[in-house]
Structure 1
């Protein structure tokens, strides 16, 4: 099948290359999903780790604030000497790294106690902090609990940015008695964020629930304190306690995968994000390598298929040429006897089925042996080529077959042609050969001539194709005996005779006797 249709090799190779490409694309898609999944897992793990660290430290600081409130409520604590009172109110954890001072404000916003000093009267803070958010919020909301303030800088420097954690001090009657406040340097979050591996374009942010930025990586002091309310990412942050999504940062316009979570009971939102470029950078490198190899493999497969197809085409052409040579006479270019007999067999069966007439001409070059003896074999070959050309020029209808039957003898098969048509074609060939004016002094006509015998099978006149050939040969024999250079048609003595011995000799000297046609057969009366 493949050898008969070389293009099928190319088609199969294209299908194979397409299948390989499809498999490679599927694998690359799976690898891409795996890269995203691993990155998502890493981001969620980092966010969980940071959340726990922040939550633990805030809890410790909150416990310190609660301890101050509890100390203030203990009888006699306020009457203790300043140094002892400091030890009772402020534990050692307050002095930890990144934690600022803890101070107590009265109901008017004045500093009563400060963890950084043990002596008064000189207050370590401004006398009035009543306008600060960490004071006003507790004054106006009795049950707020722990409050985390907006970032601020006591010294006005970007290096000293802090947030305040505060709790309300209530009097025994439930009235407002002041606030205990502790400060936390934002450098704590800065160092914590820098310790996480998020790739070159990764980001991490901690913000208040109202959208105020407390810390962001990559760090830029200008982003601290800005409010993200109304941005697309913030709108997603407040919809659920935690989750993940693809989004574009409002600050730097980088597309990232975001994992976010609200930190325990605190009014804080943490987001950790990896840029899509960083997520797929390794995948792109592998995809480029695999894609290049697959493309090279597909191109190689198709190229080899094309080369193989070309080889098959050349082989097919060579085989066709060999078949043609096996069926063609090398000298005249006509069919050889083997091919002619195949045609006779096929057309005989077709004529028997259809009932159409089938005519056969046998043509013999007159006195050809003498021509060879006089002029040589080379001239004899040229004479045969000329005769073959005359035959081919007068046998042009599709389905007609001309062949070199053997030596100087030729044969012509005329499907769907009656006796009159066969006689006409034979006469045209005879006249064409004579018109060549090929000198032949050994001939009575002094030029090269041919004798033609014709026979026509119609209805059940001949039982076999061999009988038809024998009839044409008998007519040829009569043409040779009648003086050569003529056409004689086989005429049986009675209908249905197979190779009858009685023959009407209708030769080229009697064209009127050859004018009969049979149009009712559907064949050609005149070729």
Structure 2
């Protein structure tokens, strides 16, 4: 695995971790929303059942009064007994205001709280008009109002129609309920610092809202977007911004099945997600720091791996390269020769090899010193490298002042041409050499070309090039001599070694 792969792999793993954290936090957010929705539903059901149970009892009490009013024996009783029988102590219940019987003109004729009725006319109230104008109204729940008999106490009224035997309007029975009942009921249901719970009439009038604000009671919200959703279904849940205070909340609502009322419970989104935000901030910060640390660690590891690979590459290059000349060393030359020879055998192609030797190099070292000799070797090596152009052509230092050039797929004439270019380039360096007959550093080159077969190996062509080199030396140095498989001139053992 390379350095880039380590770094990008680390980045990918960090992204996966961050993505998993994000998915987990998103799911946690959805869970918080679902818990809030379920809590709101439970709170709404508690309030609904309490109101329905009490209103059912109130409705039965009103119906009992209506039936008693049309019973002659009851109406013939003394006022105190009649009052006790008709109202059965219902008016003493907590949060109940007045229980009254009004005649067809709206005047109080029977008062549950007194044997002598209090004076008052309520023909202008909506609960009176609704019963007077229709015989099918049934139990009517009024709009909120301020009581005229109880020092302006905010209330709503439940009323039923009283009819003569012929069905004509005879008056109403009403029961006033203090709004304090709803205030106490809603106040005991915790919905967070910004939550709200409301009881709304089916026509859009606000009966009670917690948190309580006297200005909100009786407000018409029938045109609000939230109310339109209340009327669109029997119950449901949605998110919206309140028209009353501008806070965005998760609403749960339910229409009462038997009463013209809607219970609405709303938790503010900041309250719903408060704990989630703290957890998300902590987890997100930790995961972000961990991911950045992981990426940084991957970068450091990638950098270290890159340095190690570079060092290994340099070591490998040093192991395969002659440190003085920069050419391949003898060990690498052996691998190249073996590989190219086998390929030439498979392809039945011509394999050429040049043997380069610097003329009278020992004398040069003795005259100018070993440092000058090393510089001359490096200069000759550069000449050789600059004059072989194909990627497959290879030059190597064979030993001392000797070099070998491997030329795959090169004919004898092509090899001789390259050899001549190398010889001329070395001579053209014009490096002074007082011990040479040419007065400069020169080189002799032996060239051998071969078409490999199963009966020969690469040492054959090396020997042929070596023989050609000897012939170049013998013929006056600074020469190129060629040899191929049909023409080999064996070196005479009695001749002196080349220099």
Same fold (TM over 0.5): yes
Assess if the C-alpha contact under 8 Å between 1:83 and 1:118 holds in 2: yes
Structure 2 partner of 1:17: 14
Assess if the C-alpha contact under 8 Å between 2:104 and 2:169 holds in 1: yes
Q: In the TM superposition, what whole-angstrom CA distance separates every residue of 1:486-522 from its partner, at most 9, and x where no partner exists?
A: 211114546xxxx56499xxxxxxxxxxxxxxxxxxx
Structure 1 partner of 2:235: 242
Tell whether 2:210 aligns with 1:217: yes
| Equivalent position SS for 1:168 | strand
Count of residues paired in the alignment = 492
1:266/1:386 CA distance change after superposition, 3 Å: closer
Assess if the C-alpha contact under 8 Å between 2:426 and 2:441 holds in 1: yes
Among 29, 34, 53, the residue aligned to 1:32: 29
Give the whole-Å Cα distance in 2 for the aligned partners of 1:16 and 1:483. 71
**Length-normalised TM-score, structure 1:** 0.86
Structure 1 partner of 2:456: 463
Structure 2 partner of 1:311: 304
Structure 2 partner of 1:444: 437
Assess if the C-alpha contact under 8 Å between 1:493 and 1:501 holds in 2: no
Q: Note the residue ranges of structure 2 that are not aligned, 5 or more in a row.
A: 493-499
Tell whether 2:322 aligns with 1:329: yes
Among 105, 113, 116, the residue aligned to 2:113: 116
| Equivalent position SS for 1:221 | coil
Structure 2 partner of 1:429: 422
Q: In the TM superposition, what whole-angstrom CA distance separates every residue of 1:162-213 from its partner, at most 9, and x where no partner exists?
A: 1111112233444332211111111221222222111222111111111111
Give the whole-Å Cα distance in 1 for the aligned partners of 2:383 and 2:239. 86
Q: Note the residue ranges of structure 1 that are not aligned, 5 or more in a row.
A: 504-527
Moved over 6 A (4+): 156-159
Q: How does 1:331-346 map to 2 (within 5 A)?
A: 331-346=324-339
CA-CA distance at 1:364 after TM superposition: 1.2
Q: In the TM superposition, what whole-angstrom CA distance separates every residue of 1:250-298 from its partner, at most 9, and x where no partner exists?
A: 3333332222122342211111111222222211221121122222222
Give the whole-Å Cα distance in 2 for the aligned partners of 1:264 and 1:383. 110
Structure 2 partner of 1:97: 94
1:159/1:363 CA distance change after superposition, 3 Å: farther
Structure 2 partner of 1:508: none
Give the whole-Å Cα distance in 2 for the aligned partners of 1:30 and 1:222. 40
Structure 2 partner of 1:368: 361
CA-CA distance at 1:434 after TM superposition: 3.0
Tell whether 2:130 aligns with 1:133: no
Give the whole-Å Cα distance in 1 for the aligned partners of 2:151 and 2:370. 117
Structure 2 partner of 1:472: 465
Instruction: Answer with 88-97 or 183-192: which moved more.
Output: 88-97
Give the whole-Å Cα distance in 2 for the aligned partners of 1:244 and 1:488. 101
Q: In the TM superposition, what whole-angstrom CA distance separates every residue of 1:293-331 from its partner, at most 9, and x where no partner exists?
A: 222222222221121111111111111111111111111
Assess if the C-alpha contact under 8 Å between 1:492 and 1:501 holds in 2: no
| Equivalent position SS for 2:276 | helix
Structure 2 partner of 1:513: none
